[in-house]
């Protein structure tokens, strides 16, 4: 059994603190030394990708110290406990099994009297069979016509991850002849969300995927009713247009309101559910089960790297601990995620949930307050768009914001244009290369308004192309990074008690059981 200790009780953390400010990034990244760093400060990832940390404020000595921290905090041992089925989610007393949806890292995990790996594979296979039948027209609408659109109804983890993954592969699938159905997403309880989506689709040829683990998520059930109303008004039988993704114990599991039901369980948190049936149904319907299987394979390959005890061979663990160094020792409050890939336009929003909901905690796994900062604010937009937006503050603002770049050598759609001697793809890649160096090295100018201080740290994940496998590997990398940071901060990354109070108070408002400020706000909003 691993020992769970607060970060500030570890001797290796105190050793790390003593190295604060020992790396002059601007100097380190200059000249031949900078070139050497780019060549050597790189950890291989799955699918030929690499995590390059040359432009981080670390050197061999600090990475050694991070390795000591990983060892003392028993990070890979804790990961092994997790994938072998320990109750890692201590708050809710649950196993944490999302890695098991895509591969078997350790011993068989038996829970609820079943082999959980077999359970997840069974669901994946059931979805594949269903999706193939839809694509073949064997499952069709009342007029016997093929479904052309799939609409996911879900919120939070049932929305952000699957939506980000869909957008990430839409153009790839169109280019590679495996685009089967367009996908849309309804999430917000704002009725304008559902109304807006329903206005843009042909409901007679749409299949809706209702996603709620408990079967009781208010936003999702409300939007289901909204959709059912619309289907009824169009003279359509809703039960022939809707499937459910839920837990086996939920009221949706055996309801006749759905064409089919596919299952997840309590061991997969919403924000980690893209590889389960939550992502599997909509992605298999949109792109075919083979594409979804490749996505899982990429994630599984990357997961294996996260078991390495050597921090220089474990990109997620290294990324995680550099982040802890930046957050706790250097004191930076935020991290920006900047993919130079339009397909990853919503990937930062997904990571914002995955990271901030997991590690935005003030108590440790034992319910005791911690005396150090935990999860940072995560935000981001794709480059080059961000360059024309908030990069001004990143370059010349008063706070230092660590940056997480992502870039690919090739685009997805295959079409491009040459202007001023270079393709758009070359311009895109030139920009991300330029930004890393601009942030790290800066540029002196006598006019301080044009001066760049430099020493602003970044890392980059570089790959050949954003394929299904590469996307799976990327997702796994960040999920595991978040997990390792949670282990290091000694928090439980797998519950979210902070979302409960708002739910309770909203119910009171709707029941008109309010007083004081809450009553006044209710009146102000005319509820």
Task: Quote the least distance from Cβ 70 to its own copies, whole Å.
Answer: 22
When asked if residue 321 is in the footprint of its own copies (CB under 8 A), the reply is: no
Given 388, 427, 450, 507, the catalytic residue: 388
Q: What burial class does residue 140 get, using C-beta atoms within 10 Å of its C-beta: 0-12 exposed, 13-18 middle, 19+ buried? A: middle
Task: Quote the least distance from Cβ 142 to its own copies, whole Å.
Answer: 23
Residues within window 197-236 making contact with its own copies, judged by CB under 8 A: 199, 218-219, 221-223, 225-226, 229
The question of whether 357 is a catalytic residue gets the answer yes
Alpha-carbon dihedral angle through residues 68, 71, 75, 80, given to the nearest 10 degrees: 150
Which sign, positive or negative, has the C-alpha torsion 286, 299, 243, 507? Answer: negative
DSSP string, 128-185: HHHHHHHHTTSS--TTSPPP-EEEEE--GGGTHHHHHHHHHHHHHHHHTT----EEEE
When asked if residue 525 is in the footprint of its own copies (CB under 8 A), the reply is: yes
- Selected from 378, 406, 471, 474, the binder of its own copies by CB under 8 A is 378
What backbone torsions phi and psi does residue 63 show, to the nearest 5 degrees? -65, -35
When asked if residue 426 is in the footprint of its own copies (CB under 8 A), the reply is: yes
When asked if residue 192 is in the footprint of its own copies (CB under 8 A), the reply is: yes
Which sign, positive or negative, has the C-alpha torsion 508, 509, 515, 521? Answer: positive
When asked if residue 301 is in the footprint of its own copies (CB under 8 A), the reply is: no
The question of whether 503 is a catalytic residue gets the answer yes
| Contacting range for its own copies; rule: CB under 8 A; set: 27-35, 132-140, 286-294, 318-326 | 27-35
- Selected from 123, 152, 341, 455, the binder of its own copies by CB under 8 A is 341
When asked if residue 442 is in the footprint of its own copies (CB under 8 A), the reply is: yes
When asked if residue 159 is in the footprint of its own copies (CB under 8 A), the reply is: yes
Alpha helix stretches (DSSP H) within 244-369? 277-287, 289-305, 315-324, 347-359
Residues within window 480-499 making contact with its own copies, judged by CB under 8 A: 492, 495-499
Give SS3 for 462: strand
The residue behind tokens 């394979």 is: 297
- Selected from 105, 174, 259, 478, the binder of its own copies by CB under 8 A is 174
When asked if residue 255 is in the footprint of its own copies (CB under 8 A), the reply is: no
When asked if residue 4 is in the footprint of its own copies (CB under 8 A), the reply is: no
Give me the half-sphere count of Cα atoms (radius 13 Å) on the Cβ side of residue 29.
26
Closest CA to 322 of 63, 78, 8, 64: 63
- Selected from 428, 470, 471, 482, the binder of its own copies by CB under 8 A is 428
At 202, which helix (H) or strand (E)?
none
Chain-centroid distance of CA 411 in Å reads: 21
The residue behind tokens 């706070």 is: 399
Contact partners, residue 497, CB within 8 Å, separation at least 6 = 91
Residue 240 or 395 with smaller CB distance to its own copies: 395
| Contacting range for its own copies; rule: CB under 8 A; set: 67-75, 206-214, 247-255, 435-443 | 435-443
Given 357, 381, 469, 479, the catalytic residue: 357
Residues within window 397-416 making contact with its own copies, judged by CB under 8 A: 397-399, 401, 407, 409, 411-413, 415-416
Furthest-apart CA atoms within the chain: distance in Å: 73
When asked if residue 242 is in the footprint of its own copies (CB under 8 A), the reply is: no
Task: Quote the least distance from Cβ 51 to its own copies, whole Å.
Answer: 12
- Selected from 127, 318, 432, 471, the binder of its own copies by CB under 8 A is 432
Given 93, 256, 503, 512, the catalytic residue: 503
Task: Quote the least distance from Cβ 85 to its own copies, whole Å.
Answer: 23
Chain-centroid distance of CA 282 in Å reads: 17
| Contacting range for its own copies; rule: CB under 8 A; set: 123-131, 237-245, 254-262, 504-512 | 504-512
Residue count of the chain: 527
When asked if residue 387 is in the footprint of its own copies (CB under 8 A), the reply is: yes
Contact yes or no for 144/301 (Cβ under 8 A):
no
| Contacting range for its own copies; rule: CB under 8 A; set: 287-295, 304-312, 316-324, 452-460 | 452-460
Q: How many residues bind its own copies (CB under 8 A)?
A: 159
Which residue numbers are catalytic?
Answer: 357, 388, 503
């Amino acid at each position: 059994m691993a020992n769970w200790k607060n970060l500030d009780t570890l001797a290796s953390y105190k050793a790390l603190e003593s190295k604060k400010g020992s790396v002059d990034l601007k100097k380190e990244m200059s000249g031949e030394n900078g070139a050497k760093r780019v060549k050597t400060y790189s950890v291989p990832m799955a699918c030929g990708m690499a995590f390059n940390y040359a432009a981080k404020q670390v050197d061999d000595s600090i990475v050694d110290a991070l390795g000591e921290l990983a060892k003392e905090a028993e990070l890979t041992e804790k990961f092994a406990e997790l994938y072998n089925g320990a109750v890692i989610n201590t708050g809710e007393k649950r196993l944490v099994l999302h890695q098991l949806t895509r591969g078997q890292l350790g011993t068989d995990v038996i829970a609820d009297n079943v082999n959980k790996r077999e359970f997840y594979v069974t669901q994946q296979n059931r979805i594949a069979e269903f999706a193939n039948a839809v694509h073949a027209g064997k499952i069709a609408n009342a007029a016997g016509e093929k479904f052309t659109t799939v609409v996911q109804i879900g919120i939070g983890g049932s929305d952000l991850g699957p939506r980000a993954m869909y957008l990430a592969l839409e153009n790839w699938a169109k280019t590679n002849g495996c685009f089967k159905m367009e996908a849309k997403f309804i999430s917000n309880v704002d009725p304008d969300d559902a109304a807006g989506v329903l206005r843009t689709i042909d409901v007679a040829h749409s299949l809706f995927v209702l996603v709620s683990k408990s079967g009781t998520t208010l936003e999702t059930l409300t939007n289901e009713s909204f959709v059912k109303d619309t289907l009824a008004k169009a003279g359509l039988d809703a039960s022939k247009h809707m499937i459910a993704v839920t837990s086996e114990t939920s009221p949706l599991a055996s309801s006749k309101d759905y064409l089919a039901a596919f299952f997840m369980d309590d061991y997969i948190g919403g924000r980690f559910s893209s590889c389960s049936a939550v992502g599997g149904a909509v992605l298999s319907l949109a792109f075919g089960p083979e594409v979804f299987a490749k996505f899982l394979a990429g994630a599984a390959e990357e997961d294996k790297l996260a078991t390495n005890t050597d921090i220089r061979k474990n990109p997620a663990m290294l990324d995680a601990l550099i982040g802890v160094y930046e957050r706790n020792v250097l004191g930076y409050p935020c991290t920006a995620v900047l993919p130079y890939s339009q397909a990853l336009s919503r990937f930062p929003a997904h990571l914002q949930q995955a990271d901030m909901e997991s590690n935005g905690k003030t108590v440790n796994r034992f319910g005791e307050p911690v005396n150090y900062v935990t999860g940072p604010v995560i935000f981001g937009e794709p480059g080059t768009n961000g360059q024309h937006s908030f990069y001004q503050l990143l370059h010349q603002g008063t706070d230092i914001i660590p940056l997480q770049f992502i870039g690919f050598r090739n685009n997805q759609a295959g079409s491009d244009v040459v202007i001023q001697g270079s393709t758009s793809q070359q311009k895109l890649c030139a920009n991300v290369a330029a930004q890393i160096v601009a942030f790290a090295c800066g540029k002196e100018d006598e006019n301080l308004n044009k001066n760049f201080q430099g020493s602003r740290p970044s890392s980059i994940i570089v790959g050949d192309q954003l394929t299904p496998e590469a996307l799976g590997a990327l997702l796994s990398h960040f999920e595991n990074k978040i997990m390792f940071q949670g282990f290091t901060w000694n928090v439980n990354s797998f519950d979210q008690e902070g979302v409960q109070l708002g739910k309770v108070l909203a119910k009171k408002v709707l029941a008109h059981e309010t007083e004081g400020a809450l009553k006044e706000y209710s009146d102000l909003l005319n509820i």
